[in-house]
A = this chain, B = another copy of it.
Amino acid sequence: MSEKNTPTSAEQHDDGLGIRRYRQIKNKDLVKKRRAQILEAARKLFTKKGFPVTTIQDICEESGVNPGSLYDYVQNKDDILRQLFKEMMGESSEVRAAFVPSEEINDLDALRRYMRTAIGHSWTFSPEIISLAYQETRFLDQTTKQEIMSADRELIERWMVWIKQALGREVDQERLVVIASLLVFIFAFLPLKGWTTRGLDQDKVLNATVEFFIKGLGSL
């Protein structure tokens, strides 16, 4: 990633929070608070401008943390992106857990209801996070990248199960994969193209999308 500008610093300590520097901040609550500030600002900026063009100074201005202090709370710029993803992954798997359908999905109506909740949720909750996840992935290390990919895959598999349950019959597996992929894909990417649906109200888009998908299942 950014191999540049990495002077070697002598006398580093490890505070168990992942920060390495010649001194450590003792007040853990403060560390948490500042780190949260930094990540929040970074999320906003990375989303808007992208990781590489966002400067540490930008982050400092947006978060109110002084450039001199910033390195007391995060390891380096790359670390900020990594932390952000950790947070997101945790968040979104929590969310996903919370959004395991509250009812058994045994018919199309149940599927429809759940789909509406799930899509609606993913659209309103984290448009920018998702955009971040898919656009800035390339700047992450291999492991984090793979985590994201497997999360995606897992989600696809869940939808395959739900769809099959809703239809209540055996279906062509290969087609099922494709459709479930399209579904997850739409979830993730529509926020990115907010301008596509500009002028239409969210609710109508949501309805149209859900009905379209339900009908589309007829191809299975």
Residues of A within 8 A of B (CB): 49-50, 52-53, 134-135, 138-139, 149, 152, 156, 174-175, 177-179, 181-182, 184-186, 189-190, 192-193, 195-197, 200, 204-205, 208-209, 211-219
Q: Nearest Cβ in chain B — how far from A121, in angstroms?
A: 18
**B residues near A184, Cβ cutoff 8 Å:** 196
**B residues near A181, Cβ cutoff 8 Å:** 193, 196-197
**B residues near A178, Cβ cutoff 8 Å:** 197, 200, 204-205, 208-209, 212
Report whether over half of chain A's contact residues are helix, strand or loop; otherwise say mixed.
Answer: helix
**B residues near A190, Cβ cutoff 8 Å:** 185
**B residues near A204, Cβ cutoff 8 Å:** 174-175, 178
Q: B193 contacts A185, CB within 8 Å? A: yes
C-alpha spacing A139/B215, complex, angstroms? 39
C-alpha spacing A195/B135, complex, angstroms? 14
C-alpha spacing A192/B179, complex, angstroms? 17
**B residues near A186, Cβ cutoff 8 Å:** 182, 185
**B residues near A149, Cβ cutoff 8 Å:** 195
C-alpha spacing A192/B192, complex, angstroms? 13
Write the chain B residue with the least CB distance to A177.
Answer: B200
25 pairs across A/B with beta carbons < 8 Å?
A49-B138, A50-B139, A52-B52, A149-B195, A156-B196, A174-B200, A174-B204, A174-B208, A175-B212, A177-B197, A178-B205, A178-B209, A179-B212, A182-B209, A185-B186, A185-B190, A208-B219, A211-B219, A212-B216, A213-B216, A215-B216, A215-B217, A215-B218, A215-B219, A218-B218
